[in-house]
Amino acid sequence: MNFELNQALENSIMNEIKIRYTIISILVLIILTSGCDQKVSLVYNNPVAEVFSDNYGFIQIENPTTSDFKKKGNGLTVIGDVRNSFNMKIGKYLAKDSISEWIVQALTKELYAAGFKPQFVNTLDSSEGNGIKTSIIKVWVNVNTTVSTCEIHLRMALYCNGKRSKEFVVEGIGYGANIFLGPIPKDSLRIALEECMKKAIPIIIDTYSKEQ
């Protein structure tokens, strides 16, 4: 009789432990998968292409077009997934600023430093002048526990005297990390765009030098 009572008590304790373990596991899973969106600033500091042309005068920069980027919240653009230490998606990286304006800012700074007089326009003047059309193909951030990696793809079309002269694609990859702070998405985004500019500006200069 005592044996049966002890066995029943033991089974009851084990069942209670299993129930508590299940509840704790569910709570942990909820915490690990709960939303954790992070907003990222898009910045471009100083020109990095380090190339210069004879003054080719004014060049128009058309407002870049974007691919089908996803939006969230107040129209913020999704540019990556936030993951925890278990590589589980727990939120999104959201661009605080306009990606198109960011690209225009970079092109303006680089072209001005290279000897051009850049002008922003919503649409290129198709009848005359030189200009650049940019299509933003990809802007995406991947972040793990140690480093942030960003990949940017841009397609550019160059117009000389109102006619399309050249079309090309540039790609840039950037890494952002700090030994104390961990991954830094803002840095990886900036570096990736700098890499695109380092490739694009020499092509732009070469193309317009041949058209002079």
- Tens-place pLDDT, residues 141-175: 988 777 889 999 999 999 988 889 999 999 999 99
- Say whether both 69 and 103 belong to one domain: yes
Q: Are 169 and 155 in contact (CB under 8 A)?
A: yes
- Say whether both 95 and 123 belong to one domain: yes
- Say whether both 11 and 98 belong to one domain: no
- Say whether both 109 and 163 belong to one domain: yes
- Say whether both 116 and 69 belong to one domain: yes
- Per-residue pLDDT, 7: 59
- Per-residue pLDDT, 134: 97
- Say whether both 114 and 130 belong to one domain: yes
Residue 38's CB is within 10 A of a number of other CB atoms, namely: 13
Distance of CA 81 to the CA centre of its chain: 11
- Say whether both 27 and 41 belong to one domain: no
CATH number, domain containing residue 81:
3.40.50.10610
Helical (H) or strand (E) element with 104: helix 99-113
Q: Are 82 and 143 in contact (CB under 8 A)?
A: yes
* Number of folded domains that form the chain: 2
- Say whether both 6 and 91 belong to one domain: no
- pTM for this one? 0.80
- Say whether both 122 and 18 belong to one domain: no
- Say whether both 179 and 116 belong to one domain: yes
Tell me which residue range forms the domain holding 105: 36-211
- Say whether both 127 and 157 belong to one domain: yes
Distance, CA of 114 to CA of 49 (rounded, Å): 8
User: Which parts of the chain have pLDDT scores under 50?
Assistant: 26-34
- Say whether both 202 and 120 belong to one domain: yes
Distance, CA of 113 to CA of 160 (rounded, Å): 20
Residue keyed to tokens 């765009």: 193
Distance, CA of 193 to CA of 174 (rounded, Å): 8
167 CB-contact burial (10 Å; exposed 0-12 / middle 13-18 / buried 19+) = exposed
